[in-house]
Structure 1
Amino acid sequence: MLLLDAYARAGRLEDSWWVLGEMKRRGVRLGTAGYSTLVRLYRDSGMWKKATDLILEMQELGVELDVKIYNGLIDTFGKYGQLADARGVFEKMRGQGIKPDIATWNALIRWHCRVGNMKRALRFLAAMQEEGMYPDPKIFITIISRLGEQGKWDELKELFDKMRNRGFKESGAIYAVLVDIYGQYGHFRDAQECVAALKAENLQLSPSIFCVLANAYAQQGLCEQTVSVLQLMEAEGIEPNLVMLNLLINAFSTAGRHVEALAVFQHIKDSGMSPDVVTYTTLMKAFMRVKRYEKNRFQKYIVKWSVLVVPRIEKLGKCCMMRLLQWIKWDIIEIGTPAALKWLLC
């Protein structure tokens, strides 16, 4: 079983089938944990149709289906757009007296949001709250984004008012602010007003709340407000971490302000923090956007390499992002110096 689980997690399909064949040859029967692994394997390999046969097989063999297996099946059907089957598994699960957990509700809401079926997604959200479960912040971000895309801002306001009436005051306060950031109301376009509103709700400000607010501003490219969130965070005695600074790079990237994004990157290094994969990919995204803009405007552009310890050459079609990758790899230039910026930004 350990070998099967390891191969399944690594996505090694052929090796997983070999282990299953060996188990069958030796008369070893799969238990609940084994079938759960198999469901995950089908999901990750795009073999959702086999999941249907798996249910029948488990029933014939008398294998008990637990919440983990049901969640895996729901997630598998949802991932490949078979939402009717996902709902059928959910109803069967409840019919057998198995109580859905937060992962069950998250999967149902997430996949219905993905296809734009917000009516059902909101029904599942309401049902989850009726079960006394605290909403997952990631799910709310998904709901906000989808309803926002559909222009249903009044429905969002109504949703959060209901949440507060049901006792989810803390979550309602946080996400009512998010709605105003994402939405058309404009009440909380200023970060300071956001924090003041949360304090008025007697909400204990935490690093995670500041991250949520910063992310909301960053996704819209509201750079000054993202910076303001970091300043307010420091005023509360909370030191900004790498996650927050990555969000700030993303805000500048979204706004097309690659100079400031690079300055934040240099600040991360100067502060003794180690940039992670998110830092580098977000920074590269900023330079990719610059490339698109310059290409549309000039069609061709020349990149000069004299700042590097290599022969001076000129090439057409190279972009700032490629040089950034090479500098990171070679570590031969101190990013953030005036000379580097001059050549980096063409």
Structure 2
Amino acid sequence: MATDRLYRPTLLLSFPPNPNHSIPTPTSHLKPSKPPNSPPLNTLNASPIFEHHFETPSASYNRSIQSLSGRRDVDGSMRLLAQMESSGVHPDVAAYAALIDALGSAGRTSEAEALFLELKMRGIQPNTRLYNALLKGFLRKGLLGLSDRVFREMDGCGVVGDRRTYMLLLDYCVNAGRLEDTWRVLGEMKKKRIQLGSCVYSKIIGIYSDNGMWKKAIGLMREMEDAGVRPDRKVYNSIINTFGKYGRLVEAVEAYENMRRDEIRPDILTWNSLIRWHCKAGEFDRAIGFFEGMQEEGFYPDPKVFVSVISGLGEQGRWEEIWRVFEGMKRRGLRNCGIVFAALVDIYGQYGMFQDVEECIAAIKAEGVRPSAGVFCALANAYAQQGLCEQTVNVFRLMEAEGIEPNLIMLNLMINAFSVAGRYLEALSVFEHIKESGISPDVVTYSTLMKACIRARKYDQVPVIYHEMESAGCTPDRKARQMLQTASLFLGQRDADPFGGVVKMHPPQREDV
């Protein structure tokens, strides 16, 4: 099955021991490289970042690398590492783990992998913490193939994954819409008797919601009760969001009231879901009521809540009220918030209220805001919705010029822009670029490409993409299934499931799942 790929990959990260290196004892790499009577640290031309002059050079370097990495000062950590190695001292495992984690979080996975291999070349067997740090970076960037190899290597080396390992895998599977892989990870966690907890349940509720299984999400609440797990704020937030997403606002409000009865105080996410989905349903007055109730509870409205209100106003074309709310945000000190500008760009852009990319970015910079990835994605989305391909590509170039690495969201938006414009071949070329870059396409990628094929009347390509999505381990969502059904009608190959409306067009030699 396609889902076996997550647990049975090819092992490529194993390196043979270097015969020129002696195998250290478990603690030999932690010993100081200078004898106890070495000169004080400040006479060794050490970095001024060190504060404790009675530490050994090795300990001082390790502490400083961990500190800088924790603050995500990756360049500072790398400079300190180079200085450390030039003095003949190597980092300890904790410093390596912190630096690999920071590099992965910054998207610099090649450097993270190089450090990991360097540690192995020194004869040190990585522990679970190191593997988790590397795995986190790969999964964060969507490099599923490399993540598979890391997981397999852990198994081959006898390194047992802990709860953190499985939570990283679970997060990725949920966010990528890989429903079957999510079930496999969940099964492994139960098999290894890893405590699930309300955090895990909230994630599973989320993926059920994304796949239209809101009834299963409710059933999961009962399973929690049977297991003696008390729903916490995260679980209630997931349930409220699930009900709201599928227009069941009465049930969403009931869940909110149950939350109150359980003496769990709503947080910003709770209010945001209630406001957002009521706005989307056109019940704007009720949304404003929740907005005011949030403030009465003593919550200071954050940008996400403002975005929900602004978006609701935008859908109703209430531009003067949008500007009034925005001016109120600036009075509250939220002038320099990138997410607010992203929302304004998205709303005004979708209604064609600006055309020049450079002019829009310059206006944002004039407000003292450095455009973030969210702003660029919102701007690209605004152009993509109108099929303005050249402007979308221009946003992509400006994003790179600002030193922001384009992510899968941005590339999906480019596919959508070409799709809306009916430029199927360009959309396909972006899709191939995603795969060649080592990024694993998600459900949105495949669904958007299917939409491009339908717009270009390439109906025969839709089943091919659908099967590739399944083979890659992504669970087709409702939109993907509907597009497959549409294509099959034109192809005269309709084979709909009368209970779910799912079209099954598997090759004869493959057993239907």
Shorter-normalised TM-score: what interval?
0.5 to 0.7
Shift of 1:38: 2.6
Instruction: Pick closer, same or farther for the CA change 1:249–1:175 going to 2, 3 Å.
Output: same
Q: Following the alignment from structure 2 to structure 1, what is the Cα–Cα distance between the partners of residues 348 and 208?
A: 34
CA spacing shift, 1:176–1:220, aligned 2, 3 Å: farther
- Asked if 1 retains the 8 angstrom alpha-carbon contact of 2:177 and 2:210, the reply is no
1:330 aligns with: 366
Q: Return 5+ residue gaps in structure 2 as ranges.
A: 1-96, 369-513
User: How many residue pairs were aligned?
Assistant: 267
Are 2:242 and 1:143 aligned? yes
Q: Which residue number in structure 1 is paired with residue 301 of structure 2?
A: 241
1:32 to 128, 142, 166: 128
Q: Superposition pairs for residues 126-137 of structure 1, below 5 Å?
A: 126-131=222-227, 132-135=229-232, 136=234, 137=236
CA distance in 2, matches of 1:93, 1:125: 19
3-state SS of the aligned residue for 2:329?
helix
Measure the CA separation in 1 of the matches of 2:267 and 2:190: 37
- Structure 1: where are the runs of 5+ without partners? 161-170, 178-197, 293-317, 333-346
Aligned-pair RMSD on alpha carbons? 3.7
* Structure 1 contact 214–247 (Cα < 8 Å) conserved: yes
- Scaled by the length of structure 1, what TM-score is found? 0.63
Q: Matches of residues 219-258 of structure 1 in structure 2 within 5 Å?
A: 219-232=280-293, 236=296, 238=298, 241-243=301-303, 244-258=305-319
CA contact (8 A) 2:104 2:133 kept: yes
Deviation at 1:254, TM superposition (A): 2.5
| 1:61 Cα deviation from its structure 2 partner | 2.6
2:276 alignment partner AA: N
Structure-2 change in CA distance of 1:34 and 1:49 (3 Å): same
1:57 to 133, 153, 157: 153
- SS in structure 2 at match of 1:329: helix
> Structure 2 vs 1, CA of residues 103 and 231 (structure 1 numbering), >3 Å: closer, same or farther?
closer
Q: Quick check: 1:220–1:254 contact (8 Å CA) kept in 2?
A: no
TM-score, normalised to structure 2, is 0.44
Tell me the distance in 1 between the aligned counterparts of 2:263 and 2:120. Answer: 56
Equivalent of 1:89, from 185, 208, 212?
Answer: 185
SS at match of 1:241: coil
Name the structure where helix makes up a greater proportion of residues: 1
- Contact 2:100–2:116 at 8 Å: present in 1 too? yes
Deviation at 1:30, TM superposition (A): 1.5
Greater RCO (Cα-Cα under 8 Å, separation 6 or more): 2
Q: Is the CA contact 2:107–2:137 (under 8 Å) kept in the aligned structure 1?
A: yes
TM-aligned CA distance change 1:24 to 1:139, over 3 Å: same
Quote the Cα distance in structure 2 between the aligned partners of 1:81 and 1:331: 37
Identity of aligned residues (%): 19
CA contact (8 A) 2:240 2:256 kept: no
The one-letter amino acid of 2:256's match is I
Aligned to 2:207: 111
